Amino acid sequence: MKRYMILFSAVLVLCALSCAELEEGKTKSIETHVQIDPETLDVLRKINSVSAYEVPDLGLPADDIYAKTAQDVEPFRHVKPFKEHFLIQVEYTGPGRALPEPQDLETVKLGFIGPIMSTVSVATGGKSHEETLGIKMLQGARLAIEHANAKGGYFKRNIPFELVVTNDNGLWGASGNEIVNMVYKDKAWAILGTIDGANSHIAIRVALKAEIAMMNSGDTDPTFVETNIPWAFRCISDDRQQGYLLVDYLYRKLGLKRIGIIRASSRYGRFGVREIKDGSRRLGNPIILEMAYNLGTRDFSLQLERLRKENLDAIIHWGDAIEGARILNQMRDMGMKQPYLACDRCLSDEFIEIAGKNAEGVICPSPWNPKGKNKRLTEFRKAFRKRFGEEPETFAAHAYDGMNMLIWAVQVAGLNRAKIRDMLAYRGTPWKGVTGDIMLSACHDDVGDVYLAKRKNGKWNFYSREDLKIPRGYISPRDRVSRPPAISSNIKLRTME
Amino acid sequence: MKYFIAALGILTVFWPGKTALVEAKELPGDLPAFSSASATVRKLPYVYTEWKHFTVKNGLPNDHVFALKADGPKVWVGTENGLACIDKRTGKIKSWGEKDGLPWRVISALDINTKTGELWIGLLGGGLARFSGGRFDHWHQLNSGLVNDVVYGIAIENDNVWVATTAGASRYNTLTGEWTIYTEKNAPMEEIWNYGASYDAGKVYLAIWGSGVLEFDVATENWKHYLDPDGEMEIDLYRDDGIVHVITTGISHIDGILWVATYFGMSRYDGRYWRGMYAHETGLPSDFGNAIKGRSANEGWFATDKGLGVLADFPSDTWVTYTMDPKTHRGKAIVSRNQKVLESIDMPKGIPHNYTLWVEFDGNDTWVGTSKGIGWAIGSGYYKGLKDRPVHEAGDVRTKAIE
């Protein structure tokens, strides 16, 4: 009885507090049909209370340091820069929050853009090459929509979510047209996509003009978020984070010195290795040789002969799985026995099928741990297998998370593009996804943990930095402009275990 | 920056007289200030205090204004949902939508061929259109040499129309019908995402997202490019070493001066020296620059997401910052020099919204496009640079708004 009395009293107090708070703030009624934490409720109250001319006083999320960058791999670390970007969130100051929710909808449309149909590749002039990834991405997004609809769809109106699917055909510029169509013709409320770095950039430029949130779950180009667009988000760790881990592993852990790179002559290849090259140079081990190949190449002897002559300690590949596997096979055929490290796109069945036993010992960075002990992941795997008859991989899992983040934002914010953006931008707690906890940085990037995958006994094993005891460079707790520049290069910086 | 402006605003309200006097003592010797019996007089820039607004209530097809172009007694307006034309003499607005032949509703850029009077229209996702003699003509990816339908900028160069698109630039010769496409294959574009175009004195300037600024010499057909010398996205190593960032969003060239807007700060280049400008040290309301328009070598107008920043006199670093009070909707103009407020002017009307997107000059007047309508700033008695005039006292109500 006593227990019930306490419970009853607590409910009364909570009700009283809740009423008092609403009265005091004189906010509009909070119409939400999902469970939300007090912090989110506060954000919702504030964004619901502003006029077309006001900006909600929410305080801007800020980071002390950009992208968890160690001091010894910061660019121009001995100089105090005049300005450091991306530490404070760029806010949306337009009038969009005052737009009323439409009443006459039959579905809530969410956009999808990804490479799902074969077309001409800009890079090769031949067949495009990213459909295998895009189709996985679509499967993940579709499953998220289906799960949301099974739970009742858009709760506020009891109407289903509808996925508006468009093909990112790989031709530069086409993604811009697709975003325009999704915004103005299909009237989507938010969009997920895409994979290609160039097309993703094009898409978010349109999203900025048209004012619609874009969640990216497949483009690991570090520059995607380095654009200051308040409408762009990413829920996958990028090549910067993966590059930092590789650099730490190669130099701080293994103590290697002579590293070579072979990469695709594409934006993905070019930008993917940038942090590895910069990090290597800044740690005193400049990349010995970097060779590029055209997409679709089958014979890599020219590149490999040059690399062989350099007596390298290890070789890094950045490109697609097929080329990655062929390069590995040719390396081994040529008697090159160096450790082979490849980008996360090589963590695929395609790579294993082509590389065969040569895949043994290959190391890849991974934006997540697909073998992590996570109940959500287990359930997702089960549901994915049941729905599509196959295993989910990186692109499917991240798309599932990304689409679920958008659905959550819609459920909480209602049908208003600016408020959907706000919910993602001001979320104060990590998103509990199937790929792990996703906490967005001030510039809306997923800077969560990345992993190293090692192929052993025919299986990929995933290791965290801690598992492998990979040292990390000292990360300053202060931004670069307000702290003294790094000490002279000939004095070794502190290393954190 | 908003705290800086707010704090200075409060200071000005509570100590109006002192602010001006203290400031006067700190002025450099070449900019003297003196007090007369009625008011303090000092060298100050022109401040627009007469504003008229145009919104959907006046007949605009949409309040989200992406582009403006003055053309004699008319001002053309490109909105998110149609084309409009304001007759300055009558205040009447005529508009065109897709049902009237406009090929696509979202207009992102406008320019006039002064030789023919044709209006050229950039369409976000719809290509390029020409409005002439009451008829719309349409060019797009499938019927012309337009490289992409997502158009962000237009510039008329002699008989050519330059179109900045999301996948390169196209140049259309209106006499011969010839198209030329510029991408990474034939121009020094590190990226091909063109954002803005400007033509002046024999050169075309392109603001390119991720590729800084490109300059095309029409006579020689040679390209020159300007990038951020540090080459890093997350920092600006030195303020005045070049463009503050490679993600450029707007470009304007006039009187030998290149003005550049980015989402990270602004830049000015005189052919020899660069000057970077950031909100924390100037009168810029924000570093997020949606557009830039240079009025002269020393006067540049920056449309940002938090108001309008006007570098009114470059040599003396004198700024006028126009904002709108989001609660009262009154306008505010703050004149500052080297981060010191010289005067704060409260106005019944100012810019219609703080999210500003475009600036267009029209003689002494200025037109400002925002995401909530257009502001027509009437420049009665406009003057360039600085001149001796009385300081507006805080709360001065001499200003007026045209209803």
The answer to whether A49 contacts chain B (CB < 8 Å) is no
The answer to whether A207 contacts chain B (CB < 8 Å) is no
Share the mean pLDDT of chain B: 91
B265 within 8 A of B305, measured Cβ to Cβ:
no
Distance from CA of B126 to the nearest CA of A (A): 8
CB contact under 8 A, A173 and B150: yes
**pLDDT value for A30:** 56
Q: Write the CA distances from A212 to A223, A232, B289, integer angstroms.
A: 20, 9, 19
DSSP A293-319: E-TT----HHHHHHHHTT--SEEEEES
- Rounded to two decimals, the ipTM of the complex is 0.90
Cβ neighbours of residue A416 closer than 8 Å, sequence gap 6 or more: A96, A97, A99, A100, A101
Residue B301 corresponds to which tokens in the numbers above? 């107008």
Helix (H) or strand (E) holding A448: none
Pick from A25, A397, A73, A438: which is nearest to A233 by CA? A438
Q: Cis link prior to A220 (omega < 30° from 0)?
A: no
CB contact under 8 A, A180 and B147: no
Residue ranges in chain A whose pLDDT is less than 70:
1-32, 120-128, 170-172, 487-497
- Is the pLDDT higher at A22 or at B163? B163
The answer to whether A127 contacts chain B (CB < 8 Å) is no
Distance from CA of A379 to the nearest CA of B (A): 39
Topology of domain B2-390 in CATH is: Methylamine Dehydrogenase; Chain H (2.130.10)
Q: Write the CA distances from A364 to A73, A224, A244, A324, integer angstroms.
A: 21, 22, 13, 11
Query: For B110-123, what is the mean pLDDT?
Result: 98
Chain A residues lying within 8 Å of B233, measured CB to CB: 85, 222-223, 226
Give the pairing of strands A314-318 and A340-342: parallel
- Residue B393 has a CB neighbour count (10 Å cut-off) of 19
Domains and CATH numbers, chain A: 88-238+373-447 (3.40.50.2300), 240-366+452-496 (3.40.50.2300)
B124 within 8 A of B106, measured Cβ to Cβ:
yes
Pick from B36, B48, B8, B23: which is nearest to B342 by CA? B23
**pLDDT value for A184:** 97
CB contact under 8 A, B276 and A82: yes
**pLDDT value for A175:** 87
The answer to whether A53 contacts chain B (CB < 8 Å) is yes
- One-letter amino acid at A196 equals D
**Distance between CA atoms of B205 and A355, rounded to whole angstroms?**
49
Span B7-62, pLDDT tens digits: 444 444 343 333 333 333 333 434 555 555 557 899 999 999 999 999 999 999 99
**pLDDT value for A126:** 61
Cβ-count burial of A316 within 10 angstroms (0-12 exposed, 13-18 middle, 19+ buried)? buried
Identify which of B108, B152, B239 has the shortest CB distance to residue A82. B239
Span A22-41, pLDDT tens digits: 333 333 445 567 888 999 99
